Structure 1
Amino acid sequence: MENTAINASVSTQKLTFQPGGSPASFEVTVSNDSDQFANFQLEVTAPGENRSSGYRWYRLSPEVAAAQPHGSTTKFQVIILNTPLPGFVGTVNLTVRIFSPQLGQERRLLVRLRIEADRRPSVVSVELPIRQFQVYPRNTVDIPVRVRNLGQQLVEIVLRVTGIDPYWLKDSGERRLFLDPGGSTEITFQCQPPSVMQALSQNYPFNVEVISQNVPPAKAEGSLEVLPVGFVEFTAKPKLQKIPAKRGWLPNWKSQVACFELFFKNDSNLYQQVNVEVGGKDNHKCSFRLFPEDANLGLGETSKVLLEVKTQRPWIGIGKNLYVEAKAVLFDQRLGSTDPATQSLEVQVLPVLPLWLQVAILALLAALLAWLLRQPASISHTALVNSVRFSGDADTVVSGADDCTIRRWHVRGNTLEPYGKFSGDAIACGNTQKPQGLLGIPNQAVSVLEFMPEYSDRIAAGLENGVIELWNVRTAENILKLRDSQDVTADRVFDLAFTKNSLYLFSGHGSGKVRVWMRQPPNSDFQGEPQQILDLKQQLQLNFQVRALAINSNQTKLAIAGNYKRFILWDWNQPQSLAVQKLANLDKKLSSGQEDYLWGLAFATNSPEILATADSDGYITIWDLNQCQLVTETTVQEQPRELNCDQQGVRDRWLASQGSVRSIAFSEDGSLLASAGDDGKVLVWILTPEYKLDKTKAATGKQIYKSPKKINTIDLKTGNQSIMIVSGGEDFQVKLHRHRLR
């Protein structure tokens, strides 16, 4: 059927083309004879043409024509760039196919192309159908190569593979070929990498090159990947080590290290770096060092890492076994882990003292224990000691404690010996006590003890239930019990103070009350009711506890201290004379709340206006009361006035402890001040004649004794060229300490 929609013609029916010369071309004119818009496309074919990928022997201009209306004309130019039949000389018919997607019709025209002999040298192309190859060592892989003679003459060529070791290629890496004009062939090179130790796992780029005297060189590029295979062997020698490595008859406390040799052998075709991690159930008991930290392994190489295990050895025992685990981690983990991945190691830790020496020491200790069992048991309190006091002649010490007992001790040289023996049942607050040295059993916790100044054989004991008992130290007789009949709350006694003539006794209580007890001379007892009661809780409008009392040397002032870090001066002969000093004003950074205390008070013996205080922040402060000023005046009886001693009134102030200072005491000449508290230290501070800390001699205090527990109380007596200090605290012990004066 005649095509009426597409009309086309060519500019020439015959055309000549010579490869290597100028391009040849012809035009195709296409007319749109349809009744609609249409665009046209062109295709040129030749029988037996080269259809390999990337080979173009002609070009169209334009490639695709735009859509045109009815009656319009489109011109295409066909440019012959290369011969459609490589190596062919002669005439070939070209078919020009014109078609339109819109019209669904096509038109074919015929052009005769005469191909003349090529003036250029022959051309050979080479290509790799597959460019990337993978192979394991000792396995074989085929590398196919396709070559084509694009020229019109017979050529002789050599194919050569470069970039791969020639020994890996079977039947050599060269092939000699003859290619007919326009001919092609495909050959195969077989590649077999050698053993694991000789074929490193990596990418090997290679080329297939064409070498000939008659044609230009050509090449194709590819890559060969040798896959990883093999393993890294992991061993440890030895798996059991001892500390020390050799046993001896004598103690060897310096040996604390065991050394293991870790070996890594690379039986793979990968360069490897090995890191060692140490774990196991006992790794937290040891420390470890590695020399070197990492092992670097070439192919077939063996490397050694020293693992040093250090642990603390016990001094005694039969030894212990520690178990640790060394885990190897490969930097290149394509082969997984080492074989095996871990090594279990054992360290036998022997004690510092050899077994024979331990047996000898045990035998010696057993003999010593048997000897000690034959000795009389040591005497002490069974609960924390609250108060210790020297008698006036300093030959006796009395102590009171929470175990509801009062004990007496005889001073012999540098030691204290229990004095006397309790005649009744030695049971205090339900617990059996040792009768040696037991003075009395009040059956209440003893908070404070105080000797009567004119009677060195009598002592007052303040109890937890608010009762004050008087005891004869020589006869162990309970002389008298004092209690305020109005007290129904068991108002605990925290401190006691006698006047020098022993006519007045002051007691400080947890309720904030100070009770004044009086007796008539010369031999009468104290009256059963207090003569006067000072209620500081009511007057200060604070929940105030009286923790410490002290009377100055001229018996005019009573110092009262407790919480809120306050001390109060009371001229007890003038009941309306109360003055309050707020110690917290000295340091704004330190608190002065209900739980902050002045624990200790002490007047200098030879200076009635010098007062020392000890507080819960660890400070000791020395006050000159002559320099204190009354800030407010009052006409109301017993209304307290504020006392300002913060500036001129402070002679000195220093930090004596990191914890509370619980107790302080002046020497008789005022040159020394002793202190003790929560740090367990008994310290002596040297003072100047102005009652300041002598920083040139003992700025940090002279430590006389150190207890592992808190010390609650001390007392001080001056002797010939020495002082004696007695202490008691939470270790239940009463200790005597002597310090020689220089």
Structure 2
Amino acid sequence: MNSNSDNLISASLSTQSLTYRPNQGEVSFEVTVNNDSDRFANFQLEIIAAGEIRNPNYRWYRLEPEVAAAQPHGSSTKFQVFIFNTPIPGFVGTVNLSVKIFSPQLARERRLILRLEIERDKKPILISVELPIRTFQVYPGNAIDIPVRVINQGQVASNVLLHLTGIDASWVTNSAERRFTLNANSQTEVSFRCEPPSVVQAPSLNYLFIAEATSNNSYPANAEGNLEVLPVGYINFSTPQNKQRIPSRRLWLPDWKSNSASYELLFKNVSNLHQEINVQIQGRDWRKCTFKKLPEIANLNLGETVKVILDVKTKRPWIGIGKTLFLEAKAELSDQRLGSTDPATQSLELEVLPIIPLWLQLAILALLAALLVWWKQFNQEAIAHTGFVNSVRIIGGGTGSSIVSASNDCTLRYWSIREYSIEPNKDATLESKPYEQNFRCAKPQKPKGVLAFANNPITVVRFVPVENNRVAIGLENGRIELREVPTGKRIPIPDPEEQGDKVFDLAFTKDSLNLFSGSGKGKVRVWSRESTTTNFQEKPVVIELEKQQEQKLTRFGIRALALSPDDEMLVVSGEYNRFLILHRNKNQPNNPFKKILVERLEKIDGRGKQKDSVLSLAFIPDSQEKILATSDSFGFIAIWDLKQCKPTTNNNQQQINDANCKLLDRWQDESKNPIRTLAFSEDGKFLVSGGDDGRIVVWYLTSGYQLDKTNLPEGKTIFPGSTKIRSIDVKSSQGIVVSGSEDFKVRLHHIN
């Protein structure tokens, strides 16, 4: 058959009729298209069956090629059409196919007609299954209906068996099977009623189910759905005995071995969720104990009851009348869709009796009093300073730890740390030297533990990093000395040009190649050297902070220095209730600081007079964070994040600009007295302070470096003294704090 219009496109079919039998292979015919135009053109084909319902997901023919390449005038293009399915599902008989030929370039189309004879398929007819609703939710004990639609697309009736699988057959009312006859080209809807059993027999899961239909003359067909059993119920939490005692029974004789007690924690699963339970211990006294759980994680299946043994261990005092510790056990559920346990926590009480029974304590009271007198005498001999102790530092770890202390009595002393006490180091003594050397600061000095004598009161001592066998000391007359440990030998370091400028603090870089000092006249001096084997330069670089800004302060006496853990910034504090941040120029020793920022605490509380001072600074050691703690003359402690400073540049182009650092937290000690010394634990979990009220306080911090107000908002006092504390140092890995005070004593304190 030929068709021609406007002399642009002509086409022909290889046949006018075609027979197709489903499932017997594909049939084909050719379409020849001629380009009768005067230009290049390409052609496309589309086959349309009369009466078909167009469905983009249903294909019944294919073309080769799909689109013809552009051809010149007079050329021909052949298309091969392959029919591999019936144009109308289930149809048997004759259907006319319209072959549509069109060209985008010519804006023309042609249609040719072909008659397709569709014979009956001898293969099984098509049965299909559909789920009108694919997702269901149900609580245990409730019922839902699951509708299933079965469609017969064939030309004959079919006997159908519909079966529901994937769900426990006992959950389906009556039966999980249905039998029925389905006429040709028809459909029906069958409903299955599903009712999950009780809570502990129906786990909360997503159940994939399949509705499958089979018949005597068709392939099987199926459809998938999802049944979600919703969570319901609770986890019961109980303990048969929430009060225990150490030791478990009262004894007449000392029992130092008993230091633990056990609690039974019971969990009953009255829900349809499998749980893993992790018990966490909290409460007022949880830090005083250590805990062991068996099992560590408890697996709790549906309807089961499991037991967790909680073993609590604590230190028992040797003497006293006993104490009661209050704990709280909280269960964490792996699946929290039902919330917490019922109840959420269990309160536990632990009575801790002293190792020595009370009757025995009374019997030996006189002996203990005598031992106490002896101990005081021994301690007085050990703490041998005759003036204020201005600075203390710990060196070493474990049983090899030592202390160096500096005092107004012009002595530098060296101590050895024992488990609960300190004593003069045997390697540091001047007993063999003439008595005249022992007379310093107008007083005779005890020779035990003397590391070195100075000609002026010693205000500060710092160990030299890398060279832990050396210390640097600052004197009241402005001089700085290096001393070997434990010989006390003096190592040369140039004197500053200006004498009488009291050294308040010292700081070394980690490589010990740079030494910073802060003086009472507001000057920062920087000594440098090329290596640890060479001496420091003869003249330090001097930074006069009072001359660094256009509006000069009458004074800015420096009270403390702190170097950030990465050695990038030096923080200086002192009068007028402020501190300065000096950013270092590491490669320019003659110009050591590239910019200086100021943080003004008077913007918080309005105090900025000369007598209002920031007395102490402390960074968290060995941390990538730049977390700084400050304390002042009004008993305030503040925590700052120096990574989050937003300096402002004013119009006057002053060298010192406002830092605007982020204040993480700030609180005031209950005494409101000046706090003169601070020290962080190595991991930054707590901060220790000492002040004019004589107390040493441990402040526990949150992970965000704020005061932990949940358990000890007022801090934990580990030494309730009455004499001003001038210096502290912390070794949290050993749980110890060392202090120096105005009663001439160096003391050892335990944190726990």
- TM interval, short-chain normalised: 0.3 to 0.5
Which structure would you say has the larger Rg?
1
TM-score, normalisation: structure 1: 0.47
**Normalising by the residue count of structure 2, what TM-score does the alignment of the two structures yield?**
0.47
